[in-house]
Structure 1
């Protein structure tokens, strides 16, 4: 499938394989960052240090030459390629730390900071760091959604809510050229890039219908086939092919449309990339002593189902809970303690129940009950991935007040329902990002976001769609506050250790 010259392969593999002991510092070599058009060879296995250990990228069928490949080549004038915002060292996503490092290295000349979405607003002075603060400090890309919403064919949707700008720190939502009241009205929200990896799981369909809405699965208008609905944060595209077209225009400013050959090559690459944490500084190799962590397991496994229907979520670490005598004798007490913590975290994730309330996509519209008692796996239920096997979006409150923390760097919108009030917020909602409602035009969908994969988390902070959790402890603390769970300090640390090992 993918070929490269033998000499080039040897040299590239030696250069890129990475050192397991390497730590992430500002002085990391430039080969950590993939610039468009470099022409490197993408090896079968690629390791990079991250804050807790080593992230590994596996290319099934690799190595692959990237010279002229449309994922790695800038076709448009802003100098960007897909790889710009989907970096291997960041788990095929983009960390805020990497964005800050690139600003220090190249400033506004780096294509990452293209005015269209790498700036807080295109109208700001592009040479100033402050004009790119949301990307540099929070890892956020500007997403400009048309207002009113449009369907896939570009036809306007009449929303059942009114949208007003309450706060606009970037200036873009009130900008005369780019804002809501411009000649071409758009709303600017700011989101984290989603990982381009593990698509065997992300595209899998665990249901024949959308259980969050009680409706049939959406169909791809081109193929007529059902789609998983788990790709974009706001569900605005049905398939990877549509996502490529959306990104080519919105983020890459491609000078020409992607042709079928380009799309086929990108699809072939994306569907063969697997990413997961491979080694932890305290726990050692995550596929050692009976554990089945790491990306190689993702490559060979089939998409998991609900824990009650198949392999329990995070069962790959079950053997670390009670290690055999040989494992106990071969590793340090610190390693054993960390592994035991990961195994406890997996059990807490599966078994500790709490009351889930006022969350659209769970407590409404079809109604599992409000509140409903369940655990983290109620939504994060796919074995090996921790995403939702059910299609559709959920509102956890990460973007809406009163659950979302104050984030003065983000815009704030007032949504007023014109018909029925929102089932959980009432008629008026304050939100940093209306989410799925920007796709459907429905007030009941405000704040609903597509759940992400949980693999490779350690390499791609910050977390949640709006980057509101600076670290993994922030993720646990949010859920603890939001649903009044009452985690102990030990339980919180166990959950953090679990997530860092994924």
Structure 2
């Protein structure tokens, strides 16, 4: 109990120190809990710039050509029987995503009555007693929303795809893959983190005319005929914002019909203008000073889709922090130097990447292949993948995944050729991209996450298995046996905390 109390006091001290430094620097700091949370139909003004405190410093959310009145706007308006709006799961203070901490706070403040906890996907399963906290444990403890996928998989027209694997339920702690649910009923429930709807021009940018991971041309948007980036959703089931909205309106918002074209156009306009990134670091200094070019303003005004190995190296915007700037405290100078070192480790420390579908197969860069973090996190200013980002890092597939007894476990049996890295039988908590393609070779592939605003939206990875940024580094260390020193691990954490 004493250790817990000390940790809470320490976190509070950091946030207060950051807030004080921000005010001295002339930066406005956002209000606390009640004002930070956006409820549907609040009628508030979405400001052109607003700051929100978090354990890593202060996040800034920009709206280009803002401010914007939200009354009557479809992103902020309650729809459907649950009373949810898009903003319910895409909160500005959480970098337009949803943190587990915010979910816990809403449960405590509303006694579990907030629309966030709607039975369909805000609980572990709709059949559980909804008034009990335990029925919402995955959202409250791990920041996970239930995603119900059809089985067999379906193409964009809703026609079944003949899968080359069978799927069986081995473990079902949520009871949502058995009874009236489950593969035998045409439904599979997996649990994932809400992806942020900020900085979307980077996620939608098409960096290649083909998918180098598959050796195939990019799929085309059936509406516009243009190539789709493949970086929008965790399992690649929707390649455009319109397709994503249709998916969300019929599931998360529980609408009986899709949004109309006018509403979708207004949402796309809003989401295309929102940029979010850390503005003040944990040491209390701005990330766009001292020669650095961090912060959301740089994101808003930079060209998307640039490959770091060709243009400006990834995270080189922090190179200037290698040398201390005048007026910094020793703590600030040391923190900045650590961030600069972390950027170099991210780019330059190579390791052997093995048995990772989407990298080592199907067309393959070799198995293993030696490279660094920027092999996949290669887009300048953003750190996501310029190419379509479906990769199996092992976050959901055994034997690489961490133990996650709170999640379902599926046994995949390949009916055709065995998986190139796992063989004929695979155990996974989330088949990922395979639920979209029906291909055994895609089991466990997940679209790479964007790397901005990380401090505001813990936990991490699609299944929330990393509770903090150190957990992200530790997972990669275990998975690929990289050999990071303790200093390198802390430098990487500090780097990610300022993005």
Aligned equivalent of 1:170, options 166, 169, 174: 174
Aligned equivalent of 2:62, options 52, 58, 68: 58
Structure 1 segment 320-339 matched on structure 2, within 5 A: 320-323=321-324, 327=325, 329-339=326-336
Cα distance in 2 between the residues matched to 1:166 and 1:260: 42
Deviation at 1:256, TM superposition (A): 3.9
Cα distance in 2 between the residues matched to 1:230 and 1:498: 23
Provide Cα deviations, 1:287-337, integer angstroms capped at 9, x if missing partner. 0111100000001111152222100000110100124xxx2x311011000
| Contact 2:351–2:480 (Cα < 8 Å) also in 1 | yes
Deviation at 1:257, TM superposition (A): 2.2
| 1:110–1:393 distance in 2 versus 1, CA, 3 Å | same
Task: Identify the residue that residue 351 of structure 1 maps to in structure 2.
Answer: 348
Question: SS in structure 2 opposite 1:143?
Answer: strand
Cα distance in 1 between the residues matched to 2:308 and 2:264: 35
1:83 aligns with 2:87: yes
1:206 aligns with 2:210: no
* 247-256 vs 411-420, which moves further: 247-256
| Contact 1:284–1:335 (Cα < 8 Å) also in 2 | yes
Provide Cα deviations, 1:195-249, integer angstroms capped at 9, x if missing partner. 0010111110110100000000001111111110100000001201100010011
1:115 aligns with 2:115: no
| Contact 1:304–1:311 (Cα < 8 Å) also in 2 | no
| Contact 1:54–1:278 (Cα < 8 Å) also in 2 | yes
Cα distance in 1 between the residues matched to 2:354 and 2:175: 34
Structure 1 segment 83-482 matched on structure 2, within 5 A: 83-174=87-178, 176-182=179-185, 185-282=186-283, 284-323=285-324, 327=325, 329-482=326-479
Question: SS in structure 1 opposite 2:112?
Answer: helix
> Once superposed, which parts of structure 1, at least 4 consecutive aligned residues long, lie more than 6 Å away?
none
Question: SS in structure 1 opposite 2:391?
Answer: coil
Cα distance in 2 between the residues matched to 1:97 and 1:367: 39
1:48 aligns with 2:48: no
Count of paired positions: 474
Cα distance in 1 between the residues matched to 2:282 and 2:229: 36
1:499 aligns with 2:496: yes
Task: Identify the residue that residue 15 of structure 1 maps to in structure 2.
Answer: none
| 1:21–1:446 distance in 2 versus 1, CA, 3 Å | farther
Question: SS in structure 2 opposite 1:415?
Answer: strand
Question: SS in structure 2 opposite 1:307?
Answer: coil
Cα distance in 1 between the residues matched to 2:323 and 2:277: 23
TM-score (norm 1): 0.93
| Contact 1:321–1:340 (Cα < 8 Å) also in 2 | yes
Cα distance in 1 between the residues matched to 2:107 and 2:291: 42
Aligned equivalent of 2:480, options 458, 478, 483: 483
| Contact 2:235–2:435 (Cα < 8 Å) also in 1 | yes
User: Structure 2: 5+ residue runs without aligned partners?
Assistant: 1-18, 25-30
User: Structure 1: 5+ residue runs without aligned partners?
Assistant: 1-17
Deviation at 1:46, TM superposition (A): 1.0
Provide Cα deviations, 1:82-120, integer angstroms capped at 9, x if missing partner. 000000000000000000000001133110000000000
Provide Cα deviations, 1:465-484, integer angstroms capped at 9, x if missing partner. 00000000000000011001
Cα distance in 1 between the residues matched to 2:180 and 2:452: 39
Cα distance in 2 between the residues matched to 1:479 and 1:77: 42
TM-score (norm 2): 0.93
Deviation at 1:180, TM superposition (A): 2.4
